[in-house]
Amino acid sequence: MASCPFSSATPSSAATPIPSPLPRPRFPAKFTSSLPCDELSSLGHEDGEDAVPVPDTLLSSPRMVRNAVYSFVNPEDQSKNAFLLSWNKDLATEIGVESSKIDKLSWSEEEHQHLVKVLSGGGRSLKTVLEDEKKLKDAGESPRLSQPWAHCYGGHQFGYYAGETINPSTGGSWELQLKGAGKTPYSRFADGYAVLRSSIREYLCAEAVHALGVASSRSLAILSTETMVVREEGGEPGSIVCRAAPSWIRFGSFEIFFYRKDRKNLRQLAEYVVGEVYRMEKDDPKVMAQFSEEFRKEEREAEAKLAKAKVNGNEQKSASTEKSSKDSKDKEDDNTPTRPMYHNRFAKMFAEVARRTALMVSGWQAIGFCHGVMNTDNMSILGLTIDYGPYAFLDKYDPTWICNHSDTEGRYSFQQQPGVCLWNLGRLALTLENLIGAQEQVDDLEWLSQQEADPTLEKKLKGNATDIIVEIMNKSFRDVFLKDYRERMNVKMGLGGADELQDDDLTEIVVPALAWMDDHEVDFHQFYRELADYKVQTAESVADNAGQVESFVKKLVPTPVWQSRGNVAIEECKGWLRPYHIRVLRSKYQQDDANRKAQMNKVNPMFVFRNWVAQKVIERVTDSVMKTRAGSQEPDADKDLLDRVLWMCRHPYGEDTQEVAPKVGDACEVKRNDAGLEAYGDFVGPVPEWGQGIQCSCSS
């Protein structure tokens, strides 16, 4: 996965040695060797020196691609005057980069240039090292690097390339993508580029969400390119982000085949996800046969009995009354056969997708994260947060908050996110219902084909699937979401972990506290940090803590709110604080103020990558990039700012962080802010007035 763009231009072009900082790619990639390829882009791909190259301009041209999950496409070469802005050594460790090459300061100048060239699409122009090529051939391995590809799925995709790598230590598989690397067949009329501001937002936020304990794609590197990209605001500096995930398959990957009625490739994709992404075993034919023997015979007998009862009931009908009709209906219901349902591998796959999606969105709600564009093409089959566009972390708590200013109807508002995930899962289920509904007969392809060819039989197939899907939605999504959300919120509020959950914690404390925050415009993240300082050891009740309660409320509510209705805010705060105080005192561990504070501050961040922070970072990094490109010799305090803010995103919990924030370069000074937190400089504290509630667009 880590080696998508690390390929030769065509099968006949010269081999390219792998740059030292990156692990060797898997070739051929499991993804491309298992799934159908765009026929045009595959022409001559495996023909070696006899290949007939297809021009890149044709391969990357927007066009209709059918019967394919991907297209081989080379990234556009933007390596001229490109340079590395930041490198994520934490992720580099996870994908298997050699320990001696984790830190970019250990690279030679040649290695540094080599990496920049590869990640900016210029790998095809690197000179072949014949000795390395010969060693690879002698070892029976292909000297060619993995051929990059672009995903085909329902939705929109502008310039994403993928390749695979394996961590040799863990065996973990990763796909790397270049976002902003030029056109693909799926770019439609877009240019396939990425502007610096959107690249910075994705590069940093993916790591921030991951560090806050929510599943996410990851960020390996960000580069500045010489490309000037035209957007609504005019010309902007171009950039490329190298991002990583175990798989980039989305709900939309299934939808495109479903709506094209391409059952063959839909099944092939589902088989790939089951076997290669989730590593699930094939259904055991013996188990399926046993199920069919035990339950299908019983089901058929019950159906026959019911049919006979209906016939007899009709023959005995005479001058029936309303009562006799009711008795007959009751008898019919009593004879309705139970319908045992076999959960085959596709049902199990869907259940796992639903479970992971539930954990992802419960995490979003707990950390105050708004995605902004929850289309099915932005929903990961692994339950990862992907495609960071118009996202935002909450400032003041507002459940109706819409972070995408293009979302005029509020479809993706903060409070709607769990419901949208459920709706999206329904769309995925629709694509799988025939496979799920086939139950233990799913591998009898002739039988399944007959069912799908007959509208009446297919209707029964879909009916079987509905019962299974509803059960999965309830157990794997709704139940999992509620359980995980309750556990996350209890820990955030200092009420203990999963083993200390109490039935009324959510209804008596958590929900009322959120409503109080909403009513009085309280900052979502500051609330938990201040609550961690609330002391119960010296007071038996809230009534004994009047001074502390007043101070707590005054710190949290904005000045205008305090001046206009401070007393109301205090009284309403006591409404949820009374049961909270009692609840904390019941727990031997939580009633210890120091222990509770330490526990809360390990899960409630001091540093949050809010939109106002992103805006300041974008402005400063953009100025730094422009100075560099202009050849300025002046000292640049922001030259290493991205590395420093990346560290903040990776270590968001403040004074409890054990690792000391690095001084990345001589020009990158560590500052102390008003809160006394050196690591975060000017990026923590109250949200400035200009930074409240910043919305973004899909191009941000």
* Residues noted as catalytic: 377
Of 571, 541, 566, 546, nearest in space to 556 by CA: 566
Place of tokens 């009898």: 444
- Sign of the torsion angle spanned by Cα atoms 327, 333, 337, 338: negative
* In contact, 140 and 62? CB cutoff 8 Å: no
d(CA 8, CA 72): 12
* In contact, 249 and 150? CB cutoff 8 Å: no
Of 695, 647, 696, nearest in space to 668 by CA: 647
Of 623, 677, 689, nearest in space to 200 by CA: 623
* In contact, 632 and 193? CB cutoff 8 Å: no
Of 235, 271, 269, 238, nearest in space to 254 by CA: 269
| Phi, then psi, of 523 in degrees rounded to 5 | -65, 125
User: Going by C-beta distance under 8 Å and a sequence separation of 6 or more, which residues neighbour residue 471?
Assistant: 341
Helix (H) or strand (E) holding 596: helix 593-601
d(CA 120, CA 221): 11
* In contact, 38 and 180? CB cutoff 8 Å: no
Of 253, 272, 243, 224, nearest in space to 178 by CA: 243
Of 539, 657, 541, 680, nearest in space to 610 by CA: 680
d(CA 397, CA 511): 12
Give the DSSP letter string of 171-182.
--EEEEEEETS-
* In contact, 121 and 6? CB cutoff 8 Å: no
* In contact, 5 and 24? CB cutoff 8 Å: no
User: Which structure tokens are listed for 272?
Assistant: 């790939």
Residue 514 to residues 489, 599, 605, 685, Cα–Cα distance (Å): 11, 20, 17, 21
User: Going by C-beta distance under 8 Å and a sequence separation of 6 or more, which residues neighbour residue 109?
Assistant: none
Cis link prior to 28 (omega < 30° from 0)? yes
d(CA 309, CA 326): 15
d(CA 186, CA 563): 55
| Phi, then psi, of 245 in degrees rounded to 5 | -160, 155
CA Rg value for the chain: 29
Residue 305 to residues 297, 299, 311, 312, 645, Cα–Cα distance (Å): 12, 10, 10, 11, 71
The number of C-alpha atoms within 13 Å of 143 and in the hemisphere containing its C-beta is 19
Place of tokens 């190298």: 242
| Secondary structure of residue 2 in the 3-state scheme | coil
Amino acid at 165: T
Amino acid at 194: A
Give the DSSP letter string of 624-669.
HHHHHHTT--S--TTTTHHHHHHHHHH-TTGGG--SPPP--STT--
DSSP-assigned letter for residue 621: H
